């Protein structure tokens, strides 16, 4: 797990150069919130919001300034939603929100990335991305934008 977080952390410079938009765009899978809070305070605030929404904090790493939280969906056949947040210090803090989902069935496990989906028949990736949008908008910040990992 630490390897995955470290890999994601190494991707952050590339994330910063990625496309930015004020509204979600097709296949966007990253939400960035700029906050004036220090990274540790911002992450703790996000962790509390996640717990209020029924998520279980799997991993909180103050050294990597990251957290991972899981929630099993009751209305979507027991799909496991995972949200990851990485904090990056700049002039203030940038919180990078992204996620994925896992589902098990008789045909094996299914895994997917949370991404924007505006279709009427949303897939699981669209549902968790909507959850991440709500969470990101609940964090006090001065700017929110969408991007792609």
The ranges assigned to domains in the chain are: 30-147
The crossing angle, in degrees rounded to 10, of helices 124-138 and 39-52 is 120
Total Cβ atoms within 10 A of residue 31? 25
Distance (Å, whole) CA 149 – CA 15? 6
Is 55's pLDDT higher than 90?
yes
pLDDT of 18 reads 56
Distance from first CA to last CA of the chain, Å, rounded?
Answer: 18
Across 47-53, average pLDDT? 94
Would you state the pLDDT for residue 142?
Answer: 83
Whole-angstrom Cα distance, residue 100 to residue 51? 18
User: Which one has a higher pLDDT value, 142 or 14?
Assistant: 142
Residue 42 parent element (H or E): helix 39-52
**Number of helices (H) and strands (E), helices first, in the chain?**
3, 7
CA distance 130 to 50: 14
**What CATH class does 30-147 carry?**
alpha beta
- Using CA atoms, how far apart are residues 30 and 17, in angstroms rounded to an integer? 13
| pLDDT for residue 26 | 87
The rounded distance, in Å, linking the Cα atoms of 49 and 109 is 29
- Rounded to an integer, the average pLDDT of 49-70 is 94
């Amino acid at each position: 797990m630490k390897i995955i977080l470290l890999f994601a952390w190494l991707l952050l410079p590339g994330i910063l150069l990625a496309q930015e938009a004020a509204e979600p765009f097709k296949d966007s899978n990253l939400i960035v919130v700029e906050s004036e809070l220090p990274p540790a305070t911002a992450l703790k605030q996000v962790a509390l919001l996640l717990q209020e929404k029924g998520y279980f904090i799997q991993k909180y790493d103050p050294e990597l300034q990251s957290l991972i939280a899981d929630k099993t969906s009751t209305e979507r056949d027991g799909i496991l939603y995972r949200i990851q947040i990485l904090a990056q210090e700049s002039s203030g803090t940038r919180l990078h929100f992204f996620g994925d989902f896992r589902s098990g069935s008789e045909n094996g496990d299914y895994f997917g990335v949370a991404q924007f989906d505006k279709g009427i028949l949303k897939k699981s990736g669209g549902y968790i991305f909507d959850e991440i949008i709500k969470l990101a908008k609940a964090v006090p910040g001065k700017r929110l934008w969408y991007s792609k990992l």
